[in-house]
Structure 1
Amino acid sequence: MRSMKVHDYMNRHPVKFTREMPVETAVAMLIAASQSGGPVVDDDKQVIGFLSEQDCLAMMLEGTYHKEQSATVADCMSNEVVTVNSDMAILDLAQELGNKRPKVYPVVDYAKQLVGVISRTDVLRAIDLHLRDSYANH
């Protein structure tokens, strides 16, 4: 049977941001990576925020996006971040996803350092693979 832990299905090389990064740079990175959002980390790789496409859209619509003084990630990121541990069971995470939670979770190790991200699509893929294995073995 396949492992059903977050670390087996997470993206180990996610787009991540710093507080000081210009929003324009962050938007370009999100678009290039086809990621709907990403964690904001400090110098110790600790997750201190989350920047979503929604946050970027709000900033762009506000009109500060192209003014001379650029907005930074810190100006529009969410400080409320739900992280998951890399050893968490995929099925436990899937149950949490049903409660209108974020679409992307930063994944941290026991030192609370960023080790990746996991999305709803990643969770769906993991459960699909598990179910396929179950049917193939019957």
Structure 2
Amino acid sequence: MRSLKVGDYMSRHPAVLTATMPIEEAVDKLLKADLTGGPVVDLNKKVVGFLSEQDCLAMMLEGTYHKEQSATVADCMSAEVVTVNADTAILDLAQQFGSNRPKVYPVVDYQGKLVGVISRTHVLKAINLHLQDSYANH
């Protein structure tokens, strides 16, 4: 199971967000990608934040209530981001998932540039496929 790596199961086409993007555009991208959150990158594709569904909900509800101008991703995102590398073992990442942990992790290269995302669903599929292969070979 240690041979299963994040890079083999991550999405290489995540919803990529920028800090200056309107929150409505970010929500649209997340919904189209069917993700619960997405990385926020700078012009060099370095991860500078993370925007979750919860962040979006709170801001959109507040905006609806106050009928104010649209917020940007920078207004809502978390600047503290937990990233993983494509070489990380799926098993190690699975053990990090907990109730207060992210459901989606940006995957970065060794320069900190975004190369994809991996979600709990991706990890579950990887482990399930491995277990199915193990059962089929016995």
In structure 2, what is the equivalent of residue 58 of structure 1? 58
Structure 1 alignment gaps of length 5 or more? none
In structure 2, what is the equivalent of residue 81 of structure 1? 81
Q: 1:64-75 alignment to 2 at 5 Å? A: 67=67, 69-75=69-75
Between the aligned partners of 1:76 and 1:56, the Cα distance in structure 2 is 7
Between the aligned partners of 2:92 and 2:65, the Cα distance in structure 1 is 38
Between the aligned partners of 1:46 and 1:135, the Cα distance in structure 2 is 41
Q: 1:29-108 alignment to 2 at 5 Å? A: 29-63=29-63, 67=67, 69-98=69-98, 100-108=100-108
Bigger mean CA deviation after superposition, 39-48 or 66-75:
66-75
* SS at 1:32 equivalent: helix
RMSD: 1.9
Instruction: For 1:20, give the aligned amino acid.
Output: T
TM-score by length of structure 1 reads 0.93
In structure 2, what is the equivalent of residue 10 of structure 1? 10
Aligned-pair CA distance for 1:68: 5.3
* SS at 1:57 equivalent: helix
Between the aligned partners of 2:14 and 2:20, the Cα distance in structure 1 is 18
Q: What is the aligned-residue identity percentage?
A: 75
Between the aligned partners of 1:84 and 1:113, the Cα distance in structure 2 is 11
In structure 2, what is the equivalent of residue 115 of structure 1? 115
Structure 2 alignment gaps of length 5 or more? none
Bigger mean CA deviation after superposition, 29-38 or 13-22:
29-38
